Structure 1
Amino acid sequence: MTESNDLSAPDRPHTVTVSLGDRSYEVTIGAGVRHLLPQVIARLGARRAVVVSARPPRWAPETGVPTLRIPARDGEVDKTLATVERLCQSFADFGLTRSDVVVSCGGGTTTDTVGLAAALYHRGTPVVHLPTTLLAQVDASVGGKTAVNLPQGKNLVGAYWQPAAVLCDTDHLTTLPPREWTNGYGEIARCHFIGAGDLRPLPLHEQIAASVALKAEIVGADERDTGRRHVLNYGHTLGHALEHLTGYRLRHGEAVGIGTVFAGRLAAALHRIDQARAEEHLTVVRHYGLPTALPPEATPEAVLPLLRRDKKATDGLTFVLDGPEGPALIADIPAETVAATLAAMPTEAAVTD
């Protein structure tokens, strides 16, 4: 289990640049950085703003311009096209133009949904993300992937729309309940296997910065998932299926933790890694206090159809797996091997709130 959630940090914020030419932007990480929002909006030249916030009003920073504030709820229940439509209608009623700005303030489901609304409104309106959960700060708010769910699966409708800036205020994390910490650690744990190295000894703010820096470097090299960016989905293929199968009772980071353990086992079954490396997946995931066993409903018969709907599954069952040259996207994996690996995973009682 990871140490206590120590939020002590340097006096000066840490800045990571996502290098995408004229669409480059900065991710600023530190205590109180939400108060930089007026400066960011002034730099953009926006004359009005819409702030969509899942946080109490006291956490919503001033913008410096006339502002419409829309309350939101974090969680998969509102991560839908219906929510996107309602947001865009509110933008239009307010008279927002494509020269203005949309601001998200919430967890990963809020940054995803608001990001997609901004991408679609006027075919693209600037968006600034203020992620307020650990999961959103280390992953969801960075990289420009925006999406909502369909009844058939997770993140099936979306667009690439890079933010103009991301402000990761670590003060927001002081109010997180324990399960939201665990949720965020799922994305940090998988970074161990995609190039970040062992982050476990580092203080939390350095783990956040290292996770963001790794993602920024990968996104800068492959913005639209045509190659290397696939590695960011490590643990996510099974993870997304488990979220959907449990009706999102299992949180994203929790599901990614289980998916990471499974990825190690599947890579070993395919002789891409040895048993010691597979066990390392279990050790790292356990360190962060994440679940490592399947929920009881995750039988091979229930899971395999969901895996076939995954966005990467264009050529049979497809997973990002560790290997002798690092993680890679492996296509057309035999269904029998996947099913056998699933059947060999331990199961436990479903996660409850």
Structure 2
Amino acid sequence: MKSITKTVRVSLGDRSYPIFVGNGVLDDVDRFITARYDKVAIVTQREIPWQLKLSVEHEVFIVPNGESAKSLSTVEALCSQLARFGLKRNHLVIAMGGGVVSDLGGFVAATYYRGTDYINVSTTLLAMVDASIGGKTAVNLREGKNLVGAFWQPKGVFCDLDTLETLPDREYRSGLGEMAKYSFITDEDLVGLSLLEQVSRCAEIKAEVVAEDEREGGRRALLNYGHTLGHAIEAQSFHRPKDERLSHGEAVAIGVEFAARLAYVAGRIGESSLERHRAVLDSYGLSYKMPEWIDIDKALEFMARDKKSQGSLTFVLDGPNGLEVVRDVPESLVWEVLSER
């Protein structure tokens, strides 16, 4: 008997789309696309041990592993391959994998023929609860993460929980880093829920926020809780020995605890709130210890280029009314909290 599938809807008028969460939903992809498309390009990575069985003409395009795949050079190479395949605007791109693939595949779809339909087939926890939902697509520059991108909503998102069985422990933990942030956005305890309920609830929260603020003009920025420092840590992590590198979710967990300490030192929250942040991260088995190799000056440079920034250091911080975007945070205060390690 097939397991229960939950459907979450992202309500954006004529650009609304479903998110399917459950075991075995990979089998539903073919039925979803056959009535709409007759040619499909599947963008994925060699390390992903899952395949789609499609009854329409399709070809698989392999992109490099890791964050380095999110580059303009990869975009150019992939678009050239799609053109040789004969993909047109009325065809479909499937981004199958984790956050790197959904970011890259979505950006290619957003720009190829000035906009080609795509769907996300998520095979990592991080993609299921965050990266594959909401239409934010992007690639990186040497100067920072996700600085070149577009808003381009998918036509559907498939989250097959079976794919998580093959996910390495560290990749799974990376998804937990994103999942933990939702506990602070809605003040809910998600730890005690089943995996199906956890993933679908995170998808619901993000869908609600995206429907309210699609282009990050207001509340959607709260989804970046912990990401300002998290992205700065990731940027430095790329250049560390392999055994010292941090995944996105691991860096976000450190960023969440840092944001809580920053809010505490700034007098926005009390000690009990700070300890709750740590307790939630502990409940997910996430470390929030600042790496010894962090260069504070470089971290400040990266944070100053954060997308929320408008010429000053800007963070999502907790406070009396919950999370909010706080601008003009003094550099001296950020330095002080970062120096605590």
Find the counterpart in structure 2 of residue 6 from structure 1: none
Decide whether the 8 Å contact of 1:239 with 1:259 is kept in 2: yes
153, 164, 174: which one pairs with 2:155? 164
Q: Please give the per-residue CA displacement for 1:257-314, whole angstroms capped at 9, x wherever unaligned.
A: 0000011111111111111101111111122122211111224323111111111111
Q: How does 1:106-185 map to 2 (within 5 A)?
A: 106-185=97-176
Q: Note the 1:202-351 alignment, pairs <5 A.
A: 202-247=193-238, 249-345=245-341
RMSD between aligned residues: 1.5
AA of the residue aligned to 1:176: L
Distance 1:314 1:158 in 2: 18
Cα deviation for residue 10 of structure 1 reads 8.2
Q: Percent identity among equivalent residues?
A: 46
- Which of 28, 44, 49 matches 1:36? 28
284-293 or 57-66, larger mean C-alpha shift: 57-66
| Contact map agreement 2:173 2:286 (CA 8 A) in 1 | yes
- CA offset at residue 58 of structure 1? 6.3
Distance 1:263-1:98 versus aligned 2 partners, 3 A rule:
same
Equivalent residue number for residue 10 of structure 2: 18
Are 2:177 and 2:286, in contact at CA under 8 Å, matched by a contact in 1?
yes
Amino acid at match of 1:22: D
CA contact (8 A) 1:74 1:106 kept: no
Which has the larger displacement, 175-184 or 60-69? 60-69
After TM superposition, the structure 1 stretch with the greater mean CA deviation from structure 2, 49-58 or 130-139, is 49-58
Q: Which consecutive residues of structure 2, in runs of 5 or more, have no partner in the other structure?
A: 240-244
Aligned residues: 336
Q: Which amino acid aligns with 1:25?
A: Y
When normalised by structure 2's length, the TM-score is: 0.95
Measure the CA separation in 2 of the matches of 1:114 and 1:196. 33
Deviations 1:167-203 (A, max 9, x none): 0011100001110111110001111111151101111
Equivalents in 2 of 1:27, 1:38: separation in Å? 15
One-letter amino acid of the counterpart of residue 282, structure 2: R
2:42 and 2:296 map into 1 onto residues whose CA distance is 43
TM-score with structure 1 setting the length: 0.92
How big is each residue's C-alpha offset from its partner over 1:121-176, in whole Å with a ceiling of 9 and x where there is no partner?
00100001101011111110000000111111111110001000000011100001
**1:83 matches 2:74:** yes
Tell me which amino acid in the other structure corresponds to 1:230. Answer: A
Q: Counterpart of 1:147 in 2: which secondary structure?
A: strand
Contact 1:315 1:331 in 2 (8 A): no
Deviation digits for residues 229-260 of structure 1 (CA, Å, limit 9, x no counterpart): 01000000000000001117211000000000
3-state SS in 1 of match to 2:179: helix
Please give the alpha-carbon distance, in whole angstroms, between the structure 2 residues aligned to 1:178 and 1:107: 14
> Shift of residue 14 of structure 1?
0.6
81-90 vs 114-123, which moves further = 81-90
Answer yes or no: is the 8 Å Cα contact 1:319–1:331 preserved in 2: yes
Q: Distance in 1 between matches of 2:48 and 2:138?
A: 26
Do the aligned partners of residues 10 and 226 (structure 1) sit closer, same or farther apart at CA in structure 2, a change above 3 Å counting? farther
Question: C-alpha distance in 2, partners of 1:257/1:269?
Answer: 19
Separation of aligned partners in 2, 1:18 and 1:63: 25
Unaligned runs of 5+ in 1: 1-8, 346-353
Cα distance 1:250–1:57, how it changes in 2: closer, same or farther (>3 A)? closer
Alpha carbons 2:63, 2:74 under 8 Å: kept: no
Partner of 2:90: 99
CA distance in 2, matches of 1:209, 1:271: 35
Match of 2:40 among 32, 35, 49: 49
